[in-house]
Structures are given as structure tokens and as C-alpha cells.
Structure 1
Amino acid sequence: MTTVDLAPLSVWPQDLSAYCFEVPHTDESLLFTSGKGIRLADAAGRTFLDALSGVFVTCFGYDCEPIAEAVTAQLRTLPFNPPLHGTNHAALELARGLVDLAPDGITAAKLVNGGSESVEAALRLARLYHRAHGNPDRVKVLSYYHGYHGATFGSLSLTGRPDVSRFGPGLPGIVHVWPPDCLESFWDVPQESSGALAAAMIERTIEAEGPESVAAIVMEPVIHLRGMAVPPADYLARVREVCDRHGVLLVFDEIVTGFGRTGQPFAAQTFGVTPDILCVGKGISGGFAPLAAVLMAEHVAAVLGESGGPVSFAPSHTYAANPIAAAAGLAAVTLFREDGYTGRVGTLAAHVEPRLRAVVGGRGTVRALGLLYGVKLAGGDTGAGERLAAACLRRGLILRGQDDWVVLAPAFVTTPGEADQILEILGDALDEVCGGGR
């Protein structure tokens, strides 16, 4: 048997950034070498507690044996199939499993490779749906200012943030609207009325654009890049009503919120609102393979063919419904469904949330939903989030910080003791960056 050994790190080129443009690589950069549970090790021998689940991905930890075994078995049996000529059992069973987890009314799944691709597919599907119903002029898509939907051209066009303008004009027909959190932050609208006002503004926007030209609205139920902004309780139901009145498809981008994060399989169930299209990814494979999916209500799936049902439809990319990725996803879905992870998420969330609020104290506002946490730091310092994340990293804790917020998303397998360690480090970092206040 031929084996390939990597050269020792000491003989690698000093300037690795000359070879890799994914991230700027310097002497201070992390070069991860292994992971176990919720801990990562790097080439310098340091260990880190991961309080972000990679990036909302490794919900079962870095060494989940059932998923690893499923991937290994699939690798040895069928690593790939010609997607133009057929599919595979793992893909079909995963599609069925996802539909079973989804809200009532969702009947079909299309497997794709990542979250951005899922959103792209939703865009195409929304336009196709209206064309199939004799409304080819319904091509406009609404999305949030300050939302985030991915890094491909269409998904980036939906991302209403000024920092993406460096790539030039986005996809035509994208119209941005304001979410409740922005109304609260920028115009001091009280939270008890921000949901109703934001929903009314969406309706006015649809009317101003012309309902006959609007295909869909794409939104994150909880907005990640606003520091996990959780909407008012009645907001999403109001938006559902607006969409129904004007024949506009409602698309939830649940790449971050889906697959158990909010305490239910999807945020749609947490908020009691079923969209027409549901984009899911990240934790869907536990981080063991690139994988995402588009879930569809029956009336939307009907435009793709007469068969309908909880199946994976014809592929649009070479690696869509890949057997190895599907095997990882099927193992993760099975684990989530059969090992009581909904209850485990709730138990861990009940342990973390009050302790997190105590650690933050008056230094910020905590947003919490299941195992999604955002801390909006007080004072409006738009660099405080990055400084706090850096202070945590120096202490061996990984979370995400940007603008005036940080976010945490502990893995489902985090123990109470590990959660307490995470919060202790966060508290020390807050003392450094924001001063005392616990």
C-alpha cells in the first residue's frame, strides 16, 4: 500500500499565505491539527474550547463516532455516483429524514453542497414557481438590510451589507427592507411595536414595487450578523400573512438557526410559522462533509415534476447529493432524532442562559434562543466585538465577534462543566475589554 506523508511543519514555507488565500496566514495565525469533543488543538500545541461549534456546524463535536463510521462505510462502498444518471440510498433516506424533521407542509428536499448554494437554489425555485403559474414577471426578491445569505453572487446580492459592495453591482431585482432589530437600533422604535411596523413596511414595499413583480422574500428568522437579533414574537406570523395576501413566497434562511439550534429542529417550528421554502445547512452533517438542502412545501415542489414527495430531485451540481456527504447527513439526522437531542439542547440552554446573563451583567444585552447566543455590548463601540473575540482567543476560547457584538453557539454535546469554563473565560475577557460589571 502506498502512503503519503505530509512534510513536517518545520520545513513548510514560512509564508503560507503565498499558497492559500482562504485566510491571511501569518505567524500569529492558527493552524489546527486535531479536534476532540468541543476542543481543538493547533500546531503550536495549544488547545482551544470551541464555543461556536466551528461556525454553527460541529454540533455533535469533532469526534462523533456514529457519523465517522457512517462516512467510512460509505467511502468504502460507494464514494460517488454519476449524478446525471441516478442517485444513491443515503441521499434518498436523508431527504426523507429532513422532511420528517421539518414543519408540517414541507414535503420535499433537494440536497446541495453548502448554504450559499441552498439560497441560490431557493432564488431560482421562487422564480420558476411563478413562471410555472403564468407569472414570469415575478422576479424581484426582498431581503434584509444587514442580513447575510452567502458568498456566491446571488446569495451575496441578497446580503444587505455595505461591505459586499466591493464586488460591484449585485443581482438585478433585489430589494432590501428593514428588520425589526434595525428599527429598534437606528430609530429607537420600541420592541413591542417594531415587529408590527417592520411587517407593515414590508407590505408597503411590496405594494410600491408592484406585487405582480415580487417573487419572494428571503429572511433569517434570527439575524446572525446583528448579534443574533431575535424577532418580536408576532413578527414572522405577520410577515407570513403579508406574503399570503400578495402571493409572495416566504423563504427562511435557516443555515444558522436550523437543525436543532433554537430548541426545535428548525426555527420555523420554534416560531410556529411555516415558510414556502426552507434553506438549511451547517449542522446538517455535523461538520463531517459539505452539505446543505432546500426544503419545499408541496405546492412549490409540484413545479419540479409530478412525482413530488420527500425525495431528492435532479442534481444541479456535480457533487449535489454526494453519497459520502449524504451518509454524514443521514447519520447526523438519525442521531439528532433518536438520541433525544431536542431535550438535551433545552437542558444545556437552561444551564447556560442565566449564567451568561450573570457574566455579562450591565455590560451588554443578551439575546438567547436555544443554543444561539448573542451579546450586544453596551456603549456602541463598533470595534468592541472584535476586541472581545480576540481577548477570548488569547485565553483559549473561540467565539465570533464583530462590530459591537459577539455570538456563541455551543455544541449540543457540551457538558455543563465545559459551559462553565466557556463562561468563566468570557467573563475574564469582558473584564479586560469592557471593565468590571458582573
Structure 2
Amino acid sequence: MTDEAVTDPRHPLSSWPSDLSAFCFEVPHSPEALLFTSGKGVRLADAAGRSYLDALSGVFVTCFGYDCEPIVSAVTDQLRTLPFNPPLHGTNQAALDLARALVDLAPAGITAAKLVNGGSESVEAAMRLARLYHRAHGEPGRVKVLGYYHGYHGATFGSLSLTGRPDTTRFGPGLPGIVHVWPPDCLESFWDVPPERSGALAAAMIERTIEAEGPDSVAALVVEPVIHLRGMALPPDGYLPALREVCDRHGVLLVFDEIVTGFGRTGQPFAAQTYGVTPDILCAGKGISGGYAPLAAVLMAGHIAAVLGEEGGPVSFAPSHTYAANPLAAAAGLAAVTLFREGGWPARIRELAAYTELRLREAAGGRGTVRAAGLLYGVKLTGPGERLGERVASACLRRGLILRGQDDWVVLAPAFVTTTAETDETARILGEALDEVCGAAR
């Protein structure tokens, strides 16, 4: 793709067949939608032969890039050996090995893993598990689940109900028993609460909400440690430990939705370790398979797993899904986890993260505030007009850079294998897009 082609705002981005009537797109089709044909390293190609630098890892998924040979080989070998097993009659060795590897990677106290197909299923399972836990302990009235306004937890009915965003209401009333609460960054944005106070105040508001709803009616609090759809809003110091204390005080289970933050993104295996707080249930997904198969997991502490079977022995949690713990997905996940554990990736992630943060701050200048947690970045934008995030993301895409933009923010999540030269390219293009949308840096 020539420089002229990628910087011309009139240049068409995609090359589509004439008949699209049979295909239902995941998001509304737009003139910017791309028909991807191949990927290598951190770059993608479309049907028109154009190349794109993917600074979003697909969508927080392809952490080892698009041509990771150890994962490709593991999936290929598994495909030739056992592509599927009858789930009503047993499981497979790759699934058993992956569950043990995930538990070993997780914070101390996590003892079991249930494998599922995606993040939405993981959150759904966590909600069911929370209710089941309290029922098993003689409190069947604990059915309410608290979650953030402006969070995001998935697209199935229960996970979408937990997602506190106005655009979910077009499907009608959500799951009964969902209660939404304000996260700290909303207090900062809406009411100018300073960051040094927002965490304590938000935790206190959640505790008041639990008390107002009746603690004996609340099963769980589900939170994203870093809130993606708030432009990667970071937890203030002391906030997550305060939530742990609030939940313990009222017998409420604390659930971390780490679909985005898990599997090395924050520099540790999970954000729970980065922020020093262990939840009762941890939902993991996205990069857990490196993007080579649909895969997610529900990781649970020992006291949660104990209601599903003998302590230290086999546990079971049904109903489940036909493709849960599928041999191909499990093989991809096991290869990805093994590579992460044995390839020295945490240290490499932290080194790349520090360099990337510096370059993004330089690119943003005075036009946005950079939020960083490992290789997760949000840029909270300032500038003229509305829909800054979408406009900056569009300007980047025309120049051959993939990131995500919405409202007044853009987010990036570079692959672990990104080079410093590719980081420099990302920062350069982002800077050019900001020049176009927000004006030159001061």
C-alpha cells in the first residue's frame, strides 16, 4: 500500500463482492468495513491487496500475532488426532492439561477452571455459579448481581443485561436481578471528583447499594479491573482492595471480568495479580488461545469449586455447551499458555509496554490523556466537535492502522510480538490522525 493510497481520505478501504445479502455482519456494515484475506505477524491484508498494522490484536486476542507456529502446529496435530469428543461421555487430554495450566497461572487460591467458548459464556457461567454457591450455602434469596454502568460483559442475554449501557435497551427488559453501580472514573467525569477520592467514594457507593438492596439478596459484584468501554479507565489506588473488603463484609462474591485484561495484558498473567486482589471468580478469554480458536474460561477459588464436587477432586458444572472444552480450542489454549509461561513473555511485555506508553504520550501531546496498564492503552481525547474517537480511528484506518475509537477515546492493545519499529509506526500514524481531527499538538 503506497503512502498516497493510505493517506488519501477519499481512498476506498475495501473490495467487496456484489452480493452480501446472505451474510449478517457482527457490527453494522459501513464503507470502512474490510474484507480480510490474510495475516502475518501483526499485519493484515484485505481483498484489495492493502496492508494494515493491527494495533488492537484483532480485538485483544491475537497476542502472539497471526502466524504463531507453536500454536498452529498444536492445533494442526490435534485436528489430525481428535477434532471433537462426545461431551456427554467425557473430555480430552488437552482440556485437562489446559485447566491445570490456567490454575497454575492464576492467583493463589484459584483451584479450578471451567472451559467455555467465549467471554459472554464465561460471564454467564459466573453469574449462574454465584447464585448456585449461595443456594448451596442455604441462601437461595441471594440472586442479584451488581455491575457497572458503562461497563461491558458480552452479547448473550445475561451478560448483555449486566452491561450497563443505554444501547442494550433495544432488546427490551434485561435479566431480572441486575443492579448497576457507578465506577470511579464516572464520578471523575460527571461530577469532577478528583482521582484521589473517586475510588473510596465509588466503593462506598457500592456498599450503600448493597445495603439498600439488602445484603441477603445480593449474590455477586462483577467488575472489569480496567474498563474497556470507558477508554481503558484504570482503578484508582486502593479501589479494588476496598471492593474486596466490601464484598467480604456482606458475603457477596467478587467476580473479575478479565476477558480483556487477562492473559498477560497488564504485564502479569491476570490483572488480579497486577492489582493484588484475588476475586472469588475470574472470567478469562480473548488472548487465552492467541486467537487461534474460540476459547474462554471461568476460574474459581477453592470455596467456589467446593460446591461443585469434592474438594481437591473432580468438579462438574452443568448445563454446558456442545463445544465447551473442545479438543481443538483446548490445544490452542494449552499451546498459548505454555508459550506464555516458558517464553519469558511477562518481562518482554513490561519492556515493550514502557516503550509504547512513552511513544503514545509523545504522539498524543496535549490532545489526550494516555491511560496505560501493561499493553492496554486508552487515550482520552480533547478536541473540537463530537465523536472524536470514531473520527480518529477512521483517520488511522485510512492510513493503514487498526485501533478502536468511540465517544471521546481510542484504545490500543498491541500484540506481544510487536517490534519497536512497529510501535514507532503506530505512534506516527496516530499522531497524524490526531493532527487531522484534533489539530496540531501544542
Query: What TM-score results when the alignment is normalised by the length of structure 1?
Result: 0.95
**Secondary structure at the counterpart of residue 366 of structure 2:** helix
What is residue 7 of structure 1 aligned with on the other side?
none
What is residue 3 of structure 1 aligned with on the other side?
none
Mapped contact 2:302–2:311 kept (Cα < 8 A): no
Residue among 53, 56, 60 paired with 1:56: 60
Go from structure 1 to structure 2 and tell me whether the alpha carbon gap of 1:29 and 1:384 turns closer, same or farther (over 3 Å shift). Answer: same
2:358 maps to amino acid = P
Matched, 1:205 2:209: yes
Residue among 66, 71, 78 paired with 1:67: 71
Residue among 388, 403, 406 paired with 2:407: 403
Residue among 153, 159, 166 paired with 2:163: 159
Mapped contact 1:259–1:284 kept (Cα < 8 A): yes
Mapped contact 2:359–2:423 kept (Cα < 8 A): no
Matched, 1:231 2:230: no
Go from structure 1 to structure 2 and tell me whether the alpha carbon gap of 1:26 and 1:249 turns closer, same or farther (over 3 Å shift). Answer: closer
2:103 maps to amino acid = V
How much does 1:181 deviate? 0.2
Moved more, 23-32 or 117-126: 23-32
CA separation in 2, counterparts of 1:315 and 1:354? 47
What is residue 44 of structure 1 aligned with on the other side?
48
CA separation in 2, counterparts of 1:295 and 1:229? 24
Residue among 412, 418, 432 paired with 2:416: 412
CA separation in 1, counterparts of 2:388 and 2:165? 19
Go from structure 1 to structure 2 and tell me whether the alpha carbon gap of 1:245 and 1:224 turns closer, same or farther (over 3 Å shift). Answer: same
Matched, 1:220 2:224: yes
**Secondary structure at the counterpart of residue 279 of structure 1:** strand
Matched, 1:330 2:334: yes
Matched, 1:76 2:80: yes
Note the alpha carbon deviations across 1:98-129, whole angstroms, 9 max, x for none. 00010000000000000000000000000000
CA separation in 2, counterparts of 1:435 and 1:329? 44
What is residue 20 of structure 2 aligned with on the other side?
16
Give ranges in structure 1 of 5+ residues lacking alignment.
1-10
CA separation in 2, counterparts of 1:12 and 1:280? 34
What is residue 174 of structure 1 aligned with on the other side?
178
Give ranges in structure 2 of 5+ residues lacking alignment.
1-14
How much does 1:15 deviate? 3.1
How much does 1:350 deviate? 1.3
What is residue 188 of structure 2 aligned with on the other side?
184
Taking the TM superposition and a 5 Å limit, the aligned residue runs for 1:384-395 are 384-395=388-399
Matched, 1:303 2:301: no
What is residue 111 of structure 1 aligned with on the other side?
115
What is residue 350 of structure 1 aligned with on the other side?
354
**Secondary structure at the counterpart of residue 108 of structure 2:** coil
CA separation in 2, counterparts of 1:175 and 1:274? 23
| Percent identity of paired positions between Structure 1 and Structure 2 | 83
CA separation in 1, counterparts of 2:291 and 2:137? 38
Mapped contact 1:92–1:311 kept (Cα < 8 A): no
CA separation in 2, counterparts of 1:106 and 1:204? 29
Note the alpha carbon deviations across 1:261-304, whole angstroms, 9 max, x for none. 00000000000000000000000000000000000000000111
1:425 maps to amino acid = I
Runs of 4 or more off by more than 3 Å in structure 1? 23-28, 307-315, 379-382
Note the alpha carbon deviations across 1:236-273, whole angstroms, 9 max, x for none. 00000000000000000000000000000000000000
CA separation in 1, counterparts of 2:151 and 2:313? 31
CA separation in 2, counterparts of 1:281 and 1:108? 15
What is residue 6 of structure 2 aligned with on the other side?
none
Note the alpha carbon deviations across 1:13-55, whole angstroms, 9 max, x for none. 5031443333444665310000000000000000000000000
Go from structure 1 to structure 2 and tell me whether the alpha carbon gap of 1:399 and 1:12 turns closer, same or farther (over 3 Å shift). Answer: closer
Go from structure 1 to structure 2 and tell me whether the alpha carbon gap of 1:27 and 1:363 turns closer, same or farther (over 3 Å shift). Answer: closer
What is residue 437 of structure 1 aligned with on the other side?
441
1:277 maps to amino acid = I
How much does 1:70 deviate? 0.1
Residue among 270, 273, 282 paired with 1:278: 282
What is residue 288 of structure 1 aligned with on the other side?
292
Go from structure 1 to structure 2 and tell me whether the alpha carbon gap of 1:134 and 1:312 turns closer, same or farther (over 3 Å shift). Answer: closer
Note the alpha carbon deviations across 1:323-353, whole angstroms, 9 max, x for none. 0000000000000000000011001011111
What is residue 7 of structure 2 aligned with on the other side?
none
How much does 1:358 deviate? 1.2
2:140 maps to amino acid = P
Mapped contact 1:252–1:277 kept (Cα < 8 A): yes
Mapped contact 2:16–2:47 kept (Cα < 8 A): no
What is residue 318 of structure 1 aligned with on the other side?
322
Mapped contact 1:315–1:321 kept (Cα < 8 A): no
Matched, 1:265 2:234: no
Moved more, 357-366 or 269-278: 357-366
Mapped contact 2:53–2:401 kept (Cα < 8 A): yes
Mapped contact 2:405–2:411 kept (Cα < 8 A): yes
Go from structure 1 to structure 2 and tell me whether the alpha carbon gap of 1:35 and 1:203 turns closer, same or farther (over 3 Å shift). Answer: same
Mapped contact 1:49–1:397 kept (Cα < 8 A): yes
Matched, 1:98 2:102: yes
CA separation in 2, counterparts of 1:273 and 1:225? 22
1:94 maps to amino acid = L
What is residue 88 of structure 1 aligned with on the other side?
92
Matched, 1:249 2:228: no
CA separation in 2, counterparts of 1:12 and 1:246? 55
1:16 maps to amino acid = L
Mapped contact 1:17–1:24 kept (Cα < 8 A): no
